[in-house]
Amino acid sequence: EAGVAQSPRYKIIEKRQSVAFWCNPISGHATLYWYQQILGQGPKLLIQFQNNGVVDDSQLPKDRFSAERLKGVDSTLKIQPAKLEDSAVYLCASSLGPLGTGVETQYFGPGTRLLVL
């Protein structure tokens, strides 16, 4: 079974530029998560999708971050414009779902390492 795919693996940009990350979850997984992992910290949830709807984006800095999952499969996370403090690893995870059927194990992709100069 293929795991969660993410691209690119690494990205270096200058502040005020824009960047986009792509995630393809495990086939059949209804729930998709984006996390931000700053160096030395644990992952922090940015946004959670159930199929193509947003479940929680309370920790997403909406003035610069956006995410979509149009067809309920793959997803993109965009930052525009980027700031120095956005340097982090962006992790995508997926779980079987749907909500309410019990705890679902989250499976993580390899992450995209972003450096903002």
Partner 1 sequence: AQSVTQLDSQVPVFEEAPVELRCNYSSSVSVYLFWYVQYPNQGLQLLLKYLSGSTLVKGINGFEAEFNKSQTSFHLRKPSVHISDTAEYFCAVSETGAGSYQLTFGKGTKLSVIP
Binding site for partner 1 (CB under 8 A): 4, 6, 33, 40-45, 48, 55-56, 91, 93, 95, 99-100, 102-111, 113
Please, what is the minimum distance in Å from the beta carbon of residue 16 to partner 1? Answer: 27
Question: Nearest approach, Cβ of 43 to partner 1 (angstroms)?
Answer: 5
By beta-carbon proximity to partner 1, the closer residue of 12 and 14 is: 12
Residue 27, class by beta-carbon neighbours within 10 Å (0-12 exposed, 13-18 middle, 19+ buried)? exposed
Q: How far is the CB of 48 from partner 1 (least distance, A)?
A: 6
CA-CA distance, 26 to 60, in Å (whole number)? 23
